[in-house]
Structure 1
Amino acid sequence: MSTRTAKSRSRQKSCTICAEGKRRCNRQTPQCSRCSERGLRCTYLNSPRMKTRPSTVDSASPLSDIRSDMDTDFEISFARVSSHPDMWTDSSTLAASRHFDRSPSLPTMPNFCPAIFFPDIVRPDQWSTEKLLRNINSFPELFARSGATPFLHPQLYGSDMPTAMQDAFAVTAAYFSRTPETEALTVRVLENKSKSLMKQLQKISSLRELLASVQALLIFQIIQLFQGTSRQRNLAEQDMEMLRSWTTRLQIQGEDLVNPNTWQDWIFLESIRRTVIISVLLDSLYWSLKFGHCTQAKILSMLPVTPVSELWECPTSTDWPGSIPTRSQTLLYGDFSMAWKEGRVTGELDEFQKFLLVPCVGANYKDLLAD
């Protein structure tokens, strides 16, 4: 970093989000108005909190004992959940062109900023944690076998798939077809591609490349955090702050995409929304497993999504029902959760809607969310 750049950063008064987006910041603490309205993590470069917060966990710190305990916890968790079939990995769900049954009627309501109804710290119950873990952990293999995930539409990139997604597909295909003889090689390739992606993120300029890179990093992170060794988990932890930063950038730039005019435009916008939600859910799940609580419930509640799978599952524009979705079909995540608990979502839930509700409603509703 040049001396001039370092000096300019030392004089930076805006929060990091406003500074990166070149937006005006009112410098309120602990959150500026813009970050508060959007449910974003607000930090100031020169605040004592930023100066004292380490970017990675030192191996000699007290958290190293927690990490050792967490290795055992993960082994127990996976042993517990391995006997249960996962809703995403059933053979009937792997075809990219599969259709869900018609989605239930969604509530039409104004977005009322549900963050005020969600606590700062949430301690998810065991059922919710294990259910969310099984679902998210299945995404890389689903991608390797079908070329799509609940946050990556099969027609998102068409025949011109960005390099980041090509690498992610090649790595996952190799990883889930590995043998004892190729295990070490496959892991090295995974680590090298993850490092390469982190470097490429610094040079990305287009929103399309940013989306592809965040999606690829999500897939790598899921494998390393939940399926890898302690070494891979430690490496992935070091990249989590970068994933948060680039997820926030994706969210901010995606805000400018409104009123899509075509099916392809809607797929792109909805892929951004879903990718942001999955990224924040992944972050929340990992730290919930490690420390027993989640601090991002308010952020999650403010994220928009269109939980209408009949739109998402259409393989071509000619099969797409109706016209371009209206804004009323896109809800804040918190609004959707609260509306369902209050009985304002009628009809049978599809699998993506169940996935969204699992971390919000808990074990009290597990019979209603059963696969």
Structure 2
Amino acid sequence: MTALRKACRNCTTSKRKCVVQLPKCTRCAQKGLGCTYDLEPLKAPTRPPLDKDSSGYCIMKTFKSPASSIDPAICRPGNEGTLEFVRLGYLSVPGLVRAGKPAVFVHPKLQLHDSYNHFAALGEAGKGGLSYESFKSLIEINVKTVPVREALTALQALLVYLATFLFSSSQVDQSRAENYLNVLSEWTQNLLESARARMPQHQSPWQEWLFGESVRRAIILSNMLSLLLYSFRYGYCSRWLFLESLPFDRRAGLWMAESPQAWIAAARVRTGEEVGERLNSLHEFAESCDGSDPDFGGDMFLALLTLGHNGARRNHERRPGGN
């Protein structure tokens, strides 16, 4: 028998014990709170149900208020905010990297001299390189046997390909790309499990941090892409809890640094060894944002995650002095 989450959403968020009862748990009844149970399996399905009335939590729901007749936990299918997230979060990456600038999940200063760089090959080809033939060539690699830095660049390239095709106006491109979502899942899981054990040796502190943060961002944006697709197609997404638990370094300015000296200065320390890693989950990061730094020093990754999680309205309401 499948195990279900035995806690309401409020108690889960507050990390409090939930005494389950209907229509409200004990804690919500005492505090006069709305009480919603997400009775989905602990191991969420890889594909969402097509039933729009099913309850669930969607990280994209805050882009636009849903109709009053729809459960607020369900996105409106076809939400244009999803397309904007794809455009800024994935499709802008090749151009930024070609210009030598840090992009959402690819940093041009990460040294990959001992590995084949699949993302660089995509970038050099330009828009014309985003063909189904080059896409098929990419997915033929075995990420379990290549160096970990090559596996990282392969996942980065795959993210751009899939974002391009999954949200294309061509039904053929969409259908073809959707058949390879399992490859995206396998490559992401491989990187998640093996990156630390296969960490390149003898790197400078800056390069070590860049590699770790590149891996973390690629893993988050991989899970986000599947979630965006499902919310856009069906108005439902099932992997929100796992996505919110994923960590990254939230310190604004570190990712945008283009030299070791700028990176150290952004961390406000004296040496690279002192920078280290300060990781927060997506949930912890978004809940702590007060709207006082809406662009996060130009780091689009942090800005997009905040908007996707909290929505523009909530950030404005939490800003000191906001109306």
Name the TM-score class by shorter chain.
0.5 to 0.7
CA RMSD, Structure 1 to Structure 2 (Å):
3.7
Structure with bigger helix share is 1
- Matching residue within 313, 316, 320 for 2:259: 316
1:139-288 to 2 correspondences below 5 Å = 139-147=90-98, 148-157=102-111, 162-171=116-125, 173-175=126-128, 190-201=131-142, 204-256=145-197, 262-288=205-231
Contact map agreement 2:97 2:123 (CA 8 A) in 1: no
Contact map agreement 1:300 1:333 (CA 8 A) in 2: yes
Q: What code does the residue aligned with 1:174 have?
A: K
Q: CA deviation at 1:330?
A: 1.4
- Percent of residue pairs bearing the same amino acid type: 22
Contact map agreement 2:195 2:215 (CA 8 A) in 1: yes
Instruction: Please list every run of 5 or more consecutive structure 2 residues that lacks an aligned counterpart in the other structure.
Output: 5-41, 65-78
Contact map agreement 1:124 1:293 (CA 8 A) in 2: no
CA distance in structure 2 between the aligned counterparts of 1:360 and 1:240, rounded to whole angstroms: 23
Q: Which residue of 2 aligns with 1:133?
A: 83
1:55-134 to 2 correspondences below 5 Å = 121-122=57-58, 124-125=60-61, 127=63, 130-134=80-84
* Cα deviation digits, residues 124-179 of structure 1 (max 9, x gap): 436265345313324334413533521001111356672422331134x133xxxx
Q: CA deviation at 1:121?
A: 3.4
* Cα deviation digits, residues 210-231 of structure 1 (max 9, x gap): 1111001001111111235110
Structure number with the bigger relative contact order (C-alpha 8 A, sep ≥ 6) is 1
Instruction: Please list every run of 5 or more consecutive structure 1 residues that lacks an aligned counterpart in the other structure.
Output: 1-27, 32-40, 44-48, 55-62, 67-118, 176-185
- Matching residue within 318, 332, 339 for 2:281: 332
What TM-score do you get using the length of structure 1 for normalisation?
0.57
* Cα deviation digits, residues 45-93 of structure 1 (max 9, x gap): xxxx9xxx99xxxxxxxx8xx9xxxxxxxxxxxxxxxxxxxxxxxxxxx
Q: Which residue of 2 aligns with 1:84?
A: none
Tell me the matched-pair count. Answer: 248
Is the partner of 2:159 in helix, strand or coil? helix
What TM-score do you get using the length of structure 2 for normalisation?
0.65
Contact map agreement 2:227 2:239 (CA 8 A) in 1: yes
1:30-49 to 2 correspondences below 5 Å = none
Contact map agreement 1:307 1:352 (CA 8 A) in 2: no
Task: Report the CA distance shift for 1:363/1:174 in structure 2 as closer, same or farther (over 3 A).
Answer: closer
Contact map agreement 1:214 1:247 (CA 8 A) in 2: yes
Answer yes or no: is 1:300 the counterpart of 2:243: yes
